Amino acid sequence: MSKHDSSRRNFLKGVGIAGAGAAITDHLWTEAEAKEEQQTTAYGASGDIKVVLNVNGQQRTVQVEPRTTLLNALRNHLEPAVTGPKLVCDMGTCGACTVLLDGKPAYSCLVLALDAANKKITTVEGLGTPENPNAVQAAFVEHDALMCGFCTPGFVTTISAYLKKNPNPSLAEVREACKGNFCRCGTYPRVFEAALAAARKGSQI
Ligand code: FES
Ligand code: FES
């Protein structure tokens, strides 16, 4: 409890809130302080905390420092690790770490693992399997839409989410949808080609 909170409580008592009224007020303050302390513990603690993440439909528990990003938790703290999302810039500019949070693309290097608890996290691994890829994954293979492949999970994830929203996009719309993902190898024409091909097979996304 901070000195400030303590003096607020003393002030309320001192101005004559008597009997049952004071008891209720005191009780309410104590509850509010306990809640505040719980939140402070979660975000401000230096030790590891337990976080339960829903990753690709599975409940996964990690022990991490509160400052740990979702990307770091996925790649370095889960056992087995989830390494589809890649660490490239670590500052929210390249999109290599893109995952879906409740279906929406997000840079997992900018999200705290703690803040991803209670959300449905989908990584590129959750979109399909090598035996049963989704339409975007299959189109990337078919159209040879990668070189080094570092940006690929991010593009596939972004495009898979976008085609659910807009199943019949134009080239310009695909380019716009991918503006948060960078490919340093310059594979853009094939990435866009694959996205449009996947859209034509929309039912499999
Ligand atoms: S690694 Fe997250 S945006 Fe680049
Ligand atoms: S394929 Fe190498 S960064 Fe895109």
Residue 38 phi, psi dihedral angles, 5° rounding = -60, -45
Lowest mean pLDDT among 37-41, 96-100, 155-159: 37-41
Collapsing DSSP to helix, strand or coil, 149 comes out as: coil
Per-residue DSSP letters for 46-99?
SS-EEEEEEETTEEEEEEE-TT-BHHHIIIIISSS---SS--SSSSSSS-TTEE
Distances (CA, A) of 41 to 3, 44, 92: 18, 5, 27
Mutate to test the pocket of ligand 1, among 69, 72, 94 (most ligand atoms within 8 A of CB): 94
- Whole-angstrom distance, CA of residue 110 vs CA of residue 122: 16
Average pLDDT over residues 54-66: 97
Quick one: tokens of 52? 């339960």
Asked whether 90 lines ligand 1 (CB < 6 A), one says yes
- Per-residue model confidence as pLDDT tens digits over 142-163: 999 999 999 999 999 999 999 9
Q: 151 near 107, Cβ under 8 Å?
A: no
Share of the chain above pLDDT 70, in %: 76
- Å from CA of 124 to ligand 2 middle: 16
Residue 92: per-residue pLDDT: 98
- CA 28 centroid distance within chain: 35
pLDDT score for 177:
98
Looking at residue 202, its pLDDT comes to: 74
The reported pLDDT for the residue numbered 9 is 42
CA 67 – ligand 1 centroid, Å: 16
In terms of DSSP H, where are the helices of 56-183? 70-72, 113-116, 135-142, 152-165, 171-177
pLDDT at residue 11, rounded to an integer: 35
Looking at the predicted structure, is the pLDDT value of residue 63 above 80? Answer: yes
For 11-26, what is each residue's pLDDT tens digit? Answer: 334 333 333 444 444 4
How far apart, in whole angstroms, are the C-alpha atoms of residue 126 and residue 175? 24
User: pLDDT band for position 4 (50/70/90)?
Assistant: very low
Average pLDDT over residues 178-193: 98
Nearest residue (CA) to ligand 1, atom 3: 92
Q: Which residue in 120, 188, 177, 179 sits closest to 152, CA to CA?
A: 188
The confidence score (pLDDT) of residue 36 equals: 46
94 Cβ inside 6 Å of ligand 1: yes
Q: Which residues line ligand 2 (CB under 6 A)?
A: 146-151, 183-185, 187
Tokens, residue 181: 């993902």
* CA 113 to ligand 2 center in whole angstroms: 26
Three-state DSSP state, 148:
coil
> Amino acid identity, residue 45?
A
